[in-house]
């Protein structure tokens, strides 16, 4: 199963085989513990739940849930699969060994929060003119008309920018360092440093 829960470390530059410089994002890829296996007969769908990190303060519900895997993960994520293979067992581990250099992966994370932003920054609106009597510089302008006397949902306006789940597709695995538990993917990955990043095979 090509899936892994990682933590973002930072970015570096590497030289590709053709001599071109490429940006690589480093992800901390400690082995994930299989905390639960969901089957079609019991749960209605097939999935594998992976745990990442170590939590010192588990509540009673978490302690009971993780009892079979003998793990205390800080973060858990679920991955749907077509079928559960025989080599996947509760308490087993999934590591970066499942990936190979050159594999295409999909990366999912929470993007950086930008706070409250206006329409120019958030939606790339044009500003109003500052000469010839113009008084509306960074205002959004008209947001509705006389009919139907309401504002439609989804109208591009000022508001909270960022801090949403973003998936970047078809990034390429550039390096794998099992000794230091690091996996590198080309390009940028959403989110700040130390944020949780989910890597799945494309």
Residue ranges and CATH numbers for the domains of the chain are: 3-113+169-201 (3.30.160.810), 114-139+156-162 (no CATH)
Q: Is the peptide bond before 148 cis (omega within 30 degrees of 0)?
A: yes
The first and second tokens of residue 45, run together, are: 């769908």
Residue 134 pLDDT exceeds 90:
yes
Angle at 127 between CA 121 and CA 129, to 5 degrees: 160
pLDDT of 172 > 90? The answer is yes
| pLDDT range class, residue 31, cuts 50, 70, 90 | very high
Mean pLDDT in residue range 124-131: 96
Q: Quote the pLDDT of residue 62.
A: 94
Separation of alpha carbons 199 and 26, rounded Å: 12
Q: What is the mean pLDDT of residues 6-34?
A: 93
pLDDT of residue 198: 97
pLDDT band, very low/low/confident/very high, at 159 (cuts 50, 70, 90)? very high
Mean pLDDT of the chain: 94
For residue 145, name the pLDDT band (cuts at 50, 70, 90). Answer: confident
pLDDT band at 94; cut points 50, 70, 90: very high
pLDDT confidence band for 144 (50 / 70 / 90): confident
Q: Give the distance from CA 36 to its chain's centroid.
A: 21
Q: What b-and-e string marks burial along 135-149, b requiring 16 or more CB atoms within 10 Å of the CB? A: eeeeeeeeeeeeeee
Q: Are 24 and 186 in contact (CB under 8 A)?
A: yes
């Amino acid at each position: 199963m090509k899936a892994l829960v990682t933590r973002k470390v930072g970015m570096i530059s590497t030289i590709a085989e053709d001599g071109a410089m490429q940006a690589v994002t480093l992800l901390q890829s400690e082995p994930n513990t299989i905390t639960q296996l969901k089957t079609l007969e019991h749960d209605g769908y097939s999935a594998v739940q992976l745990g990442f990190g170590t939590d010192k303060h588990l509540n009673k519900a978490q302690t009971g849930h993780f009892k079979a895997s003998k793990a205390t993960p800080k973060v858990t994520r679920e991955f749907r699969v077509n079928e559960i293979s025989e080599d996947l067992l509760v308490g087993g581990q999934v590591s970066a060994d499942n990936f190979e250099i050159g594999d295409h992966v999909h990366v999912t994370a929470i993007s950086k929060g930008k706070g409250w932003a206006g329409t120019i920054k958030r939606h790339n609106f044009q500003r109003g003119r500052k000469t010839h009597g113009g008084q509306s510089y960074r205002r959004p302008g008209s947001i509705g008309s006389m009919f139907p006397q309401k504002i439609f949902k989804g109208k591009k306006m000022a508001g909270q920018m960022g801090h949403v789940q973003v998936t970047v597709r078809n990034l390429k695995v550039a390096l794998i360092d099992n000794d230091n538990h690091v996996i590198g993917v080309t390009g940028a990955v959403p989110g700040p440093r130390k944020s949780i990043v989910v890597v799945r095979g494309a």
